[in-house]
Chain A
């Protein structure tokens, strides 16, 4: 039976588009409450120092100051987003580990007074040696940034082996070893983080914040403030851009809460742009060594991947990031045996965490560039070589990930055709180049940050005699359109229009828990929960309408704002009347839907990072002009095909793909977090280069549909995956244009010029890392490769019925 959709597949405006184009949307910093005070944090000027004394006397005495707090005013508990990395203090008490670490907070009548007060706080520090790189941190074990971890300044070291890679290499026609480096970069959302806290006279706390994860903030506030979570309400305001930068609980949120308690006033703290650069949690700098074996026909025989992550000063999501640098290599291509070793090192820089693609763009860059080099050595067309290695659908990978639908073959075919690859590859004039790369990404993390048996996403759909329908869901719309997607799905099930629906999201008092807007999980997880809730509602309505029409409920359909008999359209009632009948028969109509992913985690330690209900796939071709005088790389056109499973709203999917391409171009060509003497060298939007309209070329987006069985109406993710292939596609295009391999991101003009100079001197025209840190990984945990095993027939999906 062919499905007929009314709403799904239509390019509709987002339900919040009207508020956004009129300026009505209230972001966190747009909120004001009566008697509200304004807060500021005092931050460390040292990258690493012991705190000897903090004297707030002069600040407290400043007229207009309501309260001044230090870490001693907060419960002495450490926190962190991951249970295994509880290493942060909202306000540092003993030690600061980076420039920008908060040490005190002030609430005052206005922002200027609060700022002046922070300047009056005296902090006596004893500076400690600052470790500003992976090498430094490993070379100086006597300087400890933290007292925990897998070794001095080693936050996490992991080693996993799935089959015998050495045997595979021995039988290969070509074995390549390459080294790559991906410099860190940051999310740079246009909205700076802001939070408003109100500690009411009843002892209950409400926090409005620009956060992607109100649930985790809720959970951690209970711990940090040592109060029952039941007395805390967290509301995520509409988020003005997240990209992973608003996923951790932050010092300003906690300080605002405490200051509100002490002052008896609402307190707002809005970060400055400079503070956002330090708060960070962005892309990890990652050094990578990759050894891969190939047969003559290009088939991969085995792969050994090593990564060293510069984690910065705190754990954040870093353990997950470390595993992610090794998890998804096997999802794109057939990799029969696989070994991964990864280490995250603490340094005295702002902590890194998840940014769009979380831990996977770096290894994707390395892998796709190495494939390009191997293709050249083997005399193969890089597009053909990728096609030859495509993973098989509905199988398991070496590292026990279950892959369902794969549209990558079609993605490659479509970008190859659209870009004119066959006539351009190896045929463009010097200075012009074309490159290709592929990728895959999670549609939602298959395991939660906290392991438990509860839903990852919950939705309540309610309707009443007005004919109005509301959706309550804890998910946070960060601009990706998740509220709208929920409305489309429920409208489709109930046969009404999205505009008939109101979405109430991300309020821990009113909405069922959703884990948050990360790992590309919301469309799939909240979406499936919404469908389940809407179907339950529809079932009850159908029962009532069936009774009234004296027909069997199984004959009814809901469409065009009516409920009617499928083969006798005249016989039916309006949706509003149908709801009234339902309400008369059943009472209040409010139904829950719950979603938790299929239980598919590999049965080994670390097997929880990488599983997903399904994976999206992308293929990208980029054409560039390289100026050999200046070293400037200008992408001129981008073709990208993305396996979206099903485009619930093609317009929104295109928007996600285009935004991903843009962000990938920024990362590959200009964006980098650079530090000097512990201080961020470029904490402003002028000097931290990001692409403007002038640097962003025309992007041709092609959507490929594979109708995944785990996706809501078959849909997979679009928000992160399409970023991944862009970066290596540009690097490969630069090689194609001028014969220079820049194995280091970003590919800035100086690196291109250096490569050209090496070429002129007759040396290997490669620019990139030359050496690897001295580091011994733990003995690998040996697990049998699951490569090629069929996907389990029945993956247990809790709450499915």
Chain B
């Protein structure tokens, strides 16, 4: 069965007709060509497919597009503005926080939500915020470092 939905993704309104059973993850990747959002399990276990819905980290593999109508959806493709990387993206690149890069979009968005609510997070707060996002490459160390650096820069600080 097909369904007509209107979604606001990265500030752009997108109308589409898609199969009713498709998850938000599938619609983003397959119907909207936003393949920056990755899938790791499609069961809500790994956090890889995290996007922001009204600023909240949301597992897109468990969300249905109809639920997201009228809400703001943000994917990794929407993080950079006018060609300028978000401070989190910049810090992740500089500090080697992305190795294979597959978990990176989900972690960036989860971290963005954290910093919106807690601009000066402790390392433990970062750990808790990212506890639902698995990474198999980095051992998380550089990821925590990068979130700290981005937080510092976002409040105007520079690296010591």
Answer yes or no: are A and B bound together in one complex: yes
User: Is residue B56 within 8 Å, beta carbon to beta carbon, of the partner chain?
Assistant: no
User: Is residue A800 within 8 Å, beta carbon to beta carbon, of the partner chain?
Assistant: no
Known: A663-B136, A690-B134, A693-B127. A240 touches B45 (CB 8 A): no
User: Would A478 and B139 count as touching, CB distance under 8 A?
Assistant: no
Question: A505 to B17, alpha carbons, bound, how many Å?
Answer: 38
Chain B residues within 8 Å of A238, by CB = 100-101
User: Would A655 and B48 count as touching, CB distance under 8 A?
Assistant: no
Known: A21-B89, A651-B95. A658 touches B138 (CB 8 A): yes
User: Would A24 and B134 count as touching, CB distance under 8 A?
Assistant: no
Q: How far is the CB of A508 from chain B (nearest CB, A)?
A: 22
User: Would A694 and B138 count as touching, CB distance under 8 A?
Assistant: no
Known: A684-B45, A693-B127, A693-B130. A240 touches B38 (CB 8 A): yes
Question: A663 to B139, alpha carbons, bound, how many Å?
Answer: 7
User: Is residue A216 within 8 Å, beta carbon to beta carbon, of the partner chain?
Assistant: no
Residue from A13, A189, A658 in contact with B100 in the complex, judged by beta carbons closer than 8 Å: A189
Question: A699 to B140, alpha carbons, bound, how many Å?
Answer: 10
User: Would B99 and A481 count as touching, CB distance under 8 A?
Assistant: yes
Known: A23-B76, A241-B100, A241-B102. A190 touches B93 (CB 8 A): no
Residue from A189, A242, A659, A693 in contact with B144 in the complex, judged by beta carbons closer than 8 Å: A693
User: Is residue B32 within 8 Å, beta carbon to beta carbon, of the partner chain?
Assistant: no
Tell me which residues from 150 to 199 in chain A have a Cβ below 8 Å from any Cβ of chain B.
187-192
User: Would A23 and B43 count as touching, CB distance under 8 A?
Assistant: no
- Interface of B, helix, strand, loop or mixed by DSSP: loop
User: Would A655 and B99 count as touching, CB distance under 8 A?
Assistant: yes
User: Would B104 and A699 count as touching, CB distance under 8 A?
Assistant: no
Question: A192 to B136, alpha carbons, bound, how many Å?
Answer: 13
User: Is residue A692 within 8 Å, beta carbon to beta carbon, of the partner chain?
Assistant: yes
Chain B residues within 8 Å of A242, by CB = 100
User: Is residue B3 within 8 Å, beta carbon to beta carbon, of the partner chain?
Assistant: no
Residue from A17, A30, A188, A662 in contact with B139 in the complex, judged by beta carbons closer than 8 Å: A662
User: Would A30 and B40 count as touching, CB distance under 8 A?
Assistant: no
Question: A560 to B105, alpha carbons, bound, how many Å?
Answer: 35
Chain B residues within 8 Å of A651, by CB = 95-96, 142
User: Is residue A685 within 8 Å, beta carbon to beta carbon, of the partner chain?
Assistant: yes
User: Would B134 and A694 count as touching, CB distance under 8 A?
Assistant: no
User: Would B139 and A191 count as touching, CB distance under 8 A?
Assistant: no
Question: A27 to B29, alpha carbons, bound, how many Å?
Answer: 12
User: Is residue B132 within 8 Å, beta carbon to beta carbon, of the partner chain?
Assistant: yes
User: Is residue A26 within 8 Å, beta carbon to beta carbon, of the partner chain?
Assistant: yes
Chain B residues within 8 Å of A19, by CB = 101
Interface size on A, residues (CB 8 A): 56
Q: How far is the CB of A766 from chain B (nearest CB, A)?
A: 30
Chain B residues within 8 Å of A663, by CB = 136, 139
User: Would B96 and A652 count as touching, CB distance under 8 A?
Assistant: yes
Chain A residues within 8 Å of B46, by CB = 190, 685
Chain A residues within 8 Å of B35, by CB = 23, 26, 30
User: Is residue A44 within 8 Å, beta carbon to beta carbon, of the partner chain?
Assistant: no
- Interface size class of chain B, counting residues whose CB lies under 8 Å from the partner chain: 35 or more
- Selecting from B64-72, B77-85, B151-159, the interface stretch reads B77-85
- Of B38, B88, B99, B135, chain A has the most CB atoms within 10 Å of the CB of B99
User: Is residue A58 within 8 Å, beta carbon to beta carbon, of the partner chain?
Assistant: no
Residue from B76, B92, B136 in contact with A188 in the complex, judged by beta carbons closer than 8 Å: B136
User: Is residue A479 within 8 Å, beta carbon to beta carbon, of the partner chain?
Assistant: yes
Chain A residues within 8 Å of B39, by CB = 29, 192
Chain B residues within 8 Å of A571, by CB = none
Tell me which residues from 727 to 745 in chain A have a Cβ below 8 Å from any Cβ of chain B.
none
User: Is residue A20 within 8 Å, beta carbon to beta carbon, of the partner chain?
Assistant: yes
User: Would A20 and B131 count as touching, CB distance under 8 A?
Assistant: no
User: Would B101 and A25 count as touching, CB distance under 8 A?
Assistant: yes
User: Is residue B24 within 8 Å, beta carbon to beta carbon, of the partner chain?
Assistant: no
Tell me which residues from 73 to 124 in chain B have a Cβ below 8 Å from any Cβ of chain A.
75-77, 79-80, 85, 88-90, 92-96, 98-105, 108
Question: A100 to B112, alpha carbons, bound, how many Å?
Answer: 39
| Chain B residue nearest to A239 in the complex (CB) | B100
User: Would B92 and A699 count as touching, CB distance under 8 A?
Assistant: no
Tell me which residues from 318 to 355 in chain A have a Cβ below 8 Å from any Cβ of chain B.
none
User: Is residue B128 within 8 Å, beta carbon to beta carbon, of the partner chain?
Assistant: yes
Known: A22-B77, A273-B42, A694-B127. A17 touches B138 (CB 8 A): no
User: Is residue A272 within 8 Å, beta carbon to beta carbon, of the partner chain?
Assistant: yes
Question: A694 to B139, alpha carbons, bound, how many Å?
Answer: 11
Known: A27-B38, A191-B40, A652-B96. A20 touches B136 (CB 8 A): no
User: Would A479 and B140 count as touching, CB distance under 8 A?
Assistant: no
Question: A14 to B29, alpha carbons, bound, how many Å?
Answer: 26
User: Is residue B2 within 8 Å, beta carbon to beta carbon, of the partner chain?
Assistant: no
User: Would B45 and A686 count as touching, CB distance under 8 A?
Assistant: yes
Chain B residues within 8 Å of A20, by CB = 93, 98, 101, 104
Chain A residues within 8 Å of B29, by CB = 30
User: Is residue A675 within 8 Å, beta carbon to beta carbon, of the partner chain?
Assistant: no
Question: A273 to B38, alpha carbons, bound, how many Å?
Answer: 13
Question: A659 to B99, alpha carbons, bound, how many Å?
Answer: 9
User: Would B45 and A692 count as touching, CB distance under 8 A?
Assistant: no
User: Is residue B41 within 8 Å, beta carbon to beta carbon, of the partner chain?
Assistant: yes
Question: A135 to B137, alpha carbons, bound, how many Å?
Answer: 35
Chain B residues within 8 Å of A659, by CB = 99, 136-139
| Chain A residue nearest to B88 in the complex (CB) | A21
Tell me which residues from 249 to 275 in chain A have a Cβ below 8 Å from any Cβ of chain B.
272-273
Chain B residues within 8 Å of A16, by CB = 101
Residue from B43, B134, B143 in contact with A684 in the complex, judged by beta carbons closer than 8 Å: B43
Chain B residues within 8 Å of A23, by CB = 34-37, 75-77, 104-105
User: Would B136 and A655 count as touching, CB distance under 8 A?
Assistant: no
User: Would A654 and B142 count as touching, CB distance under 8 A?
Assistant: yes
| Chain B residue nearest to A651 in the complex (CB) | B96
Q: How far is the CB of B25 from chain A (nearest CB, A)?
A: 12
Tell me which residues from 673 to 696 in chain A have a Cβ below 8 Å from any Cβ of chain B.
684-686, 690, 692-694, 696
Chain B residues within 8 Å of A696, by CB = 139-141
Chain B residues within 8 Å of A192, by CB = 39-40
Known: A27-B102, A659-B99. A22 touches B139 (CB 8 A): no
User: Is residue A489 within 8 Å, beta carbon to beta carbon, of the partner chain?
Assistant: no
Residue from B75, B77, B90, B139 in contact with A661 in the complex, judged by beta carbons closer than 8 Å: B139
Chain A residues within 8 Å of B126, by CB = 693
Chain A residues within 8 Å of B133, by CB = 692-693
Known: A692-B131, A693-B130. A190 touches B42 (CB 8 A): no
Question: A411 to B34, alpha carbons, bound, how many Å?
Answer: 46
Question: A466 to B19, alpha carbons, bound, how many Å?
Answer: 49
Question: A779 to B94, alpha carbons, bound, how many Å?
Answer: 56
| Chain A residue nearest to B94 in the complex (CB) | A13
| Chain B residue nearest to A479 in the complex (CB) | B100
| Chain B residue nearest to A687 in the complex (CB) | B45
Question: A14 to B96, alpha carbons, bound, how many Å?
Answer: 7
Residue from A30, A273, A479, A661 in contact with B99 in the complex, judged by beta carbons closer than 8 Å: A479
| Chain A residue nearest to B143 in the complex (CB) | A693
Question: A735 to B48, alpha carbons, bound, how many Å?
Answer: 37
User: Is residue A480 within 8 Å, beta carbon to beta carbon, of the partner chain?
Assistant: yes
Question: A658 to B136, alpha carbons, bound, how many Å?
Answer: 11
User: Is residue A799 within 8 Å, beta carbon to beta carbon, of the partner chain?
Assistant: no
Chain B residues within 8 Å of A243, by CB = 136
Question: A29 to B49, alpha carbons, bound, how many Å?
Answer: 14
| Chain B residue nearest to A31 in the complex (CB) | B35
Q: How far is the CB of A479 from chain B (nearest CB, A)?
A: 3
- Of B43, B79, B101, B130, chain A has the most CB atoms within 10 Å of the CB of B101
Question: A652 to B97, alpha carbons, bound, how many Å?
Answer: 10
Chain A residues within 8 Å of B98, by CB = 14, 17, 20-21
Given contacts A658-B142, A693-B126, 19 further A-B contacts (CB under 8 A): A14-B96, A19-B101, A20-B98, A23-B36, A29-B39, A273-B40, A651-B95, A651-B96, A655-B139, A655-B142, A658-B140, A659-B99, A660-B139, A684-B41, A684-B45, A685-B46, A692-B133, A694-B131, A696-B139
Cβ contacts A to B, 27 pairs, < 8 Å: A17-B96, A20-B101, A21-B85, A21-B89, A21-B90, A21-B104, A22-B76, A22-B89, A23-B37, A23-B75, A29-B39, A30-B29, A189-B102, A190-B38, A238-B101, A242-B100, A273-B42, A479-B101, A659-B137, A659-B139, A662-B138, A684-B45, A685-B43, A690-B136, A693-B143, A696-B139, A696-B141
